[in-house]
Structure 1
């Protein structure tokens, strides 16, 4: 049947070819003669691989291989350099061939839902044009830092996996608009999430989250889904803490960072010759009460913000726990702020 369709197609030089639900266990090699095809549908068959002849479809832009039996990415895909959209949902993929990923530089859309993936190869960063990535219902336990190099990514779906965290560098995804991570095991979102300045929708429902990152209020969120998480509750208990003894490294770092604010300071000129120290101080945090910088010692607190009034969310009401870092118990004990210490059961 497929051969007959291809023979007919050869006469018409079609831009689109539909071979969905034909019970194919292989694609006829004659497919390679249809170098005019832009859109190829092979969804709902029994394919375990593709013939090398498919690499002759050098103009192909959309390829749908959903609902097949692929256990690995067919090597022929690496030659489809004009490919923009690739559907691989509901297959049996356990890994992604790095060689194939390396050449798909025009790919903007990749659907890997309902496979058996446990991780991404570092070469995922080669998909430099990718805007939409979906890996719902896989077996992912972690995401590589290289994923954060997909600077054009606008939408990321990774629901129903086994993720416990996100890379610390997640904030490099500056064009991200939608993030869907429901039904994982995520305990904490990275502070860098606050750098995703275009993020409008976050679904983190049914995870193990207790608190949100410090800069949540800087995001232009329209929708936030966080039900079925063990979020901290607003149950104030009076507590006064004594000032801790800071390490020599911390005392020195705080002094240097304070001096760096003075444009005429000798340290401001001298630090140029010590790039390692400069890089270390660049990782400093700022106290939510006094505004001073600190390095490694902090007091983790929580501030409860109104989802509708403070964050302007249209879908959520009530208080949201947001992390706040304080530089000392002196600031914690001072009056006039609304930060609470975090009590662990």
Structure 2
């Protein structure tokens, strides 16, 4: 049947080839002759691979190989340099070929939902045009930090995996608008999430979160879903304040960052000659009370924020625990703030 359809197609110059729902266990090699085709639909078959001739379809822009029996992305795909949309959902894919991934640089959408992926190759960073990446219902336990190089990414779907954390560099995804992380094993979200200034939808339901990042309230969130998490509750417990003992490194860092506030200071001019020091200080935090910068986390507190006060219109009502970092117990003991110390069992 497939051979007949392909022979008919060869008589013209088709832009679309639909071989979905044909019970195919292989694609005829003659498909490589359809050099004008822009879209191929092969979903809902029994394919385990694609012939090498498939790589001749160099003008192909859209490919759907969803709901087949593929163990990996076919090697023939590495030649499809104009491919912008690839659906490979509901297969048996266990890993992604670095060679294939490295050559699909025009991909805008990649759908790998419902496979058996346990990790992503570092070459994922080569997909520099990617705007929508969907990896729901896989077996991912971690993400490579290279995924944070996908700066054009707008939607990232990672629901129902086994993630316990996200890369610290997550804030580099500056165009991210929608992030779906429900049904994972996340214990915390990276502080850099606050740098995703376009994030409007965040779904972290059914994880193991107790507190949200410091700058959550600064994000333009319209939807936040966080049910079924063991979020911190405002329950008073007795605590003992420890004596403050700062390291020499911390004291020096605080002094340097204080002098950097003066635009005419000698320190501000000199630091340009010490890129490693500049990079280290860029990782500093700002005290939630006095506003001064410090290098290492000294005191972790929590502020309970009403979700309605930060612009969320499609979310569960109630108060959300947001992390706030302080530079000292002196600031913690200052009157007038609504911060609480964090006590973990």
Quickly name the TM-score band, shorter chain normalised. Answer: over 0.9
Partner of 1:157: 157
- SS of the counterpart of 1:324? strand
- SS of the counterpart of 2:146? helix
Partner of 1:42: 42
**How far apart, in 2, do the equivalents of 1:201 and 1:76 lie?**
36
Distance 1:272 1:60, change over 3 A: closer
**How far apart, in 1, do the equivalents of 2:272 and 2:315 lie?**
48
Residues 273-327 of structure 1 deviation map (CA, whole Å, 9 limit, x = unaligned): 3332222222111100001111114100000000112343332210000000000
Partner of 2:126: 126
Matches within 5 A, 1:108-257: 108-237=108-237, 241=241, 243-257=243-257
Contact 1:223–1:316 at 8 Å: present in 2 too? Answer: no
Contact 1:240–1:333 at 8 Å: present in 2 too? Answer: no
Return 122-131 or 256-265, whichever deviates more: 256-265
**How far apart, in 1, do the equivalents of 2:332 and 2:318 lie?**
25
Partner of 1:331: 331
Residues 105-137 of structure 1 deviation map (CA, whole Å, 9 limit, x = unaligned): 111010001111011101001111111100111
**How far apart, in 2, do the equivalents of 1:69 and 1:245 lie?**
60
- SS of the counterpart of 1:169? helix
Partner of 2:97: 97
Contact 2:285–2:297 at 8 Å: present in 1 too? Answer: no
Could you state the TM-score of these two structures normalised by the residue count of structure 2?
0.97
Residues 36-78 of structure 1 deviation map (CA, whole Å, 9 limit, x = unaligned): 1111111111111111111111211110001111111111101
Partner of 2:19: 19
Aligned residues: 345
Residues 66-109 of structure 1 deviation map (CA, whole Å, 9 limit, x = unaligned): 11111111111011111111011111111100111111111101
**How far apart, in 1, do the equivalents of 2:35 and 2:322 lie?**
55
- SS of the counterpart of 2:110? strand
Contact 2:201–2:221 at 8 Å: present in 1 too? Answer: yes
Contact 2:72–2:92 at 8 Å: present in 1 too? Answer: yes
Residue 265 of structure 1: CA displacement? 3.0
**How far apart, in 2, do the equivalents of 1:208 and 1:315 lie?**
18
**How far apart, in 1, do the equivalents of 2:45 and 2:192 lie?**
42
Could you state the TM-score of these two structures normalised by the residue count of structure 1?
0.97
- SS of the counterpart of 1:8? helix
- SS of the counterpart of 1:171? helix
Residue 8 of structure 1: CA displacement? 1.4
Structure 2: 5+ residue stretches without partners: none
**How far apart, in 2, do the equivalents of 1:34 and 1:104 lie?**
20
Structure 1: 5+ residue stretches without partners: none
Contact 2:149–2:173 at 8 Å: present in 1 too? Answer: yes
Contact 2:224–2:312 at 8 Å: present in 1 too? Answer: no
- SS of the counterpart of 2:330? helix
Partner of 1:73: 73
Return 276-285 or 164-173, whichever deviates more: 276-285
- State whether structure 2 residue 273 is matched by structure 1 residue 281: no
Contact 2:297–2:325 at 8 Å: present in 1 too? Answer: no
**How far apart, in 1, do the equivalents of 2:146 and 2:300 lie?**
29
Residues 181-212 of structure 1 deviation map (CA, whole Å, 9 limit, x = unaligned): 10000001001101111111010000000000
The CA RMSD over aligned residues, in Å, is: 1.4
Contact 2:61–2:82 at 8 Å: present in 1 too? Answer: yes
